[in-house]
Structure 1
Amino acid sequence: MWSILLERLPRGEGMHHRIYTSFLRLPTLVRILTMAILLVLFFGIIIHIIEPDSFPTVFEGIWWAVITTSTVGYGDYSPETFLGRIVGILLIFVGAGFLSTYFITLATTAVSRQNNYLEGKVHFRGDKHLIIIGWNERSKEIIQTIRTLDQFTDIILIDETLESNPIMDAKVHFIRGRASQDHVLIKANIATAEKVLITADQHKDELDADMNTILALLTIKGLNPNITAIVEVLTREQMANAKRAGADEIIQSNRMMSYIMTNCIATDRVVSTFVEVLDELHGSRVHFHPSNDYVSQSFYTANGNLLKDGKLLIGIKRGENTMVNPPQETVIEKQDELLIIDSLSQ
């Protein structure tokens, strides 16, 4: 009815139509609350006009309207005349309905918001976060380890197969969708993320998984060229494509597992010993460190100096070559990078 009347307004009164249209665009919760407030104000003013003796000021009238619509009924103010009681009846029928609708809508919105959050439909608004793509045992272990060592970093998990967030943690935000789609990455606030880890899709064969990884990497780098991208690649042939796509670090998991298994066949207890070493590294990190303070020192001398700070020197990266446990007399050069192990907390 209101829309028909507004359409018949003269063009000079188009402002009313714009106000009405703007009001309709407000969220349902805001519209219902606005109408409830206007009703309370209207009936509060009316009851003051009708019964000025019982309601000396407009505030008393509004107070009575609020108490009546909320069904509390203190009884400190009440209409005495027939017309005043008719106004009270209308207020109960109309106002209480609007107020009840408001609280019902508020509860429904809260539940809907919570469900959307669990189902990965809510945008992440933070920054300097870590994005992990793909849900599997590897990503599960990574998230649990990071949450143990760092209580402040936000982790965004992106996966298209999960129905809801698999980890109930306030710092783990789930986004459901495909990581090669712009709108999914925008939900994860990719523009302000610091790092992204792309794990291989366990539901695809190796070549398809690598192609899916590279496609996601291209999309990510297109939206945020400065982000540090760590990718898992299953086939050696796709390593070059991953580098071309902008991968900062490439993990070839199949190659590492093949190395362990091959040595297991050739030598006794290699696998169990290697696993024990990995367990000892839990809570530590292996990374490259600039050689500025150790130039011209021997590998043996530099290792001794690093040990004083709780760091273990295990190798030297020179150009494209990495030397693990080189001869002790190897001299460190200016362009070298030191491969060291230290605690994640350092």
Structure 2
Amino acid sequence: MIIFNKLFYKLVKISNWFIFITSALLIVISSFLIYFIEPETFQNPFNSFWWVMTTVTTVGYGDYYPISILGKIFAIFLYIFGIGLISIVITKVVDSIFIYKRKKEEGKLQYHGENHFVIIDWSRNANLAIQEILNSDPSVDVVLIDQLEKTPFSHERVYYVKGNPIHKEVLDQANLAKARAVFIFSNELTEYGNFIRDTSFVDGKTLLIATTIERNFEHIYTIVEVKERENIHNFIHANIDEFILSSEAVSQLAVRSAFSPGASKIVSQLLSKQHGDDLYEIKRRSHWHTYRDAFEELLREGATLVSEGQHLDINRRLDEKIAEGARLFVICDKQTYQKLRS
């Protein structure tokens, strides 16, 4: 028994490709050999293949079996070597699945997808952002970069990359060059779990990450969370596309709700795509010359044109011509948006 255990252990250590090719050859050759030995018993090569497969997988239906001495001797050979070899193959497959799952959880795999979102640094805001992305688009992937031992968010469309985001090889592992956008969230914890109290240091860390990204991937749309508005001017040279001031946003929304009760619910609904009407960007149609053309046609189709880019004064500019490259945003439900796109 000890000898067989040592032999099995050595076979398991052999290259996967060698084991798979050897197993395939064994099955094919055995199928033709048993058919050659007993053609009247198995009638055709497929039946012999069926018998070999049920034998090496220990199923053994008993609908076909060798009756000659030579056939039985060959069957004994297949029992000893075939079943053992297939057991090793099954062990290899299960082991590969386990290793893949473990490496994915530990952030050691290369991500090869495209048009995905990259989120840097785990935090409560990063958690909410991932959930919102997954709810907004059922086909998009999210890649999270952090230095935690294991992924903090378990989901089939969320991939984890462990490493320091100021290193280009870590960003390459997340395939940032082919991402749709990257979010850099403020992280108040150090690699060793210490809390950073000075917000300037937190923004300084964010700036270092943003600079690395813009230096190597300047074409990627970059969204950065900043703790203090006074620190935004330090990011100017990094060419950041958008800034998020989370602390200010919460305070401003709270005050707005006090002056206009229910305002926070309206904003929350527009920010989330889980229910109700949402904010969508649509393409300009060729026959739209002025904002009035677009506004009135969209209104008839169930959508409200609210802005061109960040400009919310559409109602006062209805007779102006729509500029080339204008980005039009509407408020409507998902069904209406799907019709507008078609």
Q: Shorter-chain TM-score category? A: 0.5 to 0.7
For 2:39 and 2:331, how far apart are their aligned partners in 1? 81
Match for residue 226 of structure 2? 233
**Residues of 1 paired with 2:294 and 2:51: CA distance?**
81
Quick one: distance in 1 between partners of 2:99 and 2:298? 54
Q: Matches of 1:334 and 1:342 in 2, distance apart? A: 19
1:149 paired residue number? 136
> How far off its partner does 1:250 sit?
1.6
- The two structures have a TM-score, normalised by structure 2, of 0.66
Alignment of 1:286-297 (within 5 A): none
Confirm or deny that 1:186 pairs with 2:180. Answer: no
Matched, 1:246 2:235: no
- Give, in whole Å, the separation in 1 of the partners of 2:21 and 2:158: 36
Partner secondary structure for residue 152 of structure 1: coil
Provide the secondary structure at the position in 2 that maps to 1:231: strand
Q: Cα gap change, 1:55/1:208 in structure 2, threshold over 3 Å: closer, same or farther? A: farther
Is contact 1:48-1:58 (8 Å) kept?
A: yes
Deviation (angstroms), 1:199: 1.1
Aligned residues: 301
* Equivalent residue, structure 2, for 1:209: 202
Is residue 310 of structure 1 aligned with residue 322 of structure 2? no
Give the corresponding residue for 1:320. Answer: none
Separation in 1, partners of 2:233, 2:21: 60
1:287–1:339 Cα contact (<8 Å) kept: yes
Structure having the higher Rg: 1
3-state SS in 2 of match to 1:311: strand
- Structure 1 contact 54–80 (Cα < 8 Å) conserved: no
> Do the aligned partners of residues 302 and 338 (structure 1) sit closer, same or farther apart at CA in structure 2, a change above 3 Å counting?
farther
Tell me how far 1:229 sits from its aligned partner. 0.5
Residues 97 and 339 of structure 1: CA distance in aligned 2, closer, same or farther (over 3 Å): closer
Distance across 2 between alignment mates of 1:90 and 1:304: 80
CA distance in 2, matches of 1:340, 1:43: 66
Change in CA separation of 1:79 and 1:32 when aligned onto 2, cut-off 3 Å:
farther
- 1:136 aligned partner, one-letter code: S
**1:133 shift after superposition:** 2.0
Q: Which amino acid aligns with 1:238?
A: N
Q: Could you list the per-position Cα deviations for residues 271-301 of structure 1 after superposition, in whole angstroms to 9, with x for gaps in the alignment? A: 96552342343443498999x9559xxxxx8
Distance in 1 (CA, whole Å) between partners of 2:214 and 2:72 is: 69
| SS of aligned partner of 2:186 | coil
Check if 1:269 corresponds to 2:269.
Answer: no
Q: Give me the whole-angstrom Cα distance separating, in 2, the residues matched to 1:172 and 1:253.
A: 24
* Cα drift, residue 210 of structure 1: 1.5
Aligned match of 1:200: 186
TM score, norm. by length of structure 1: 0.65
1:67, distance to aligned residue in structure 2 (A):
5.2
Structure 2 vs 1, CA of residues 213 and 271 (structure 1 numbering), >3 Å: closer, same or farther? farther
Asked whether the equivalents of residues 306 and 314 of structure 2 are also in contact (C-alpha less than 8 Å), the reply is no
**Residue 214 of structure 1 aligns to which amino acid in structure 2?**
L
- Deviation per CA, 1:92-127: give whole Å up to 9, x if none: 333321111111111221232233334433333221
225-234 vs 138-147, greater mean Cα deviation: 138-147
- Unmatched tracts of structure 2, length 5 or more: 1-12, 190-195, 338-342
Q: Percent identity?
A: 22
Instruction: Identify if the C-alpha distance between structure 1 residues 305 and 145 changes in structure 2 by more than 3 Å, giving closer, same or farther.
Output: same
Quick check: 1:98 aligned with 2:92? no
Matched residue type, 1:171 = R
**1:281 matched to which residue of 2?**
270
What residue in structure 2 maps to residue 177 of structure 1? 163
- Secondary structure at 2:81's aligned position in 1? helix
Letter in 2 for 1:127: E
Q: Distance in 2 between matches of 1:236 and 1:93?
A: 73
Q: Is the 8 A contact 2:225 2:246 kept in 1?
A: yes
Contact kept? 2:109, 2:161, Cα under 8 Å: yes
1:177, distance to aligned residue in structure 2 (A)? 3.2
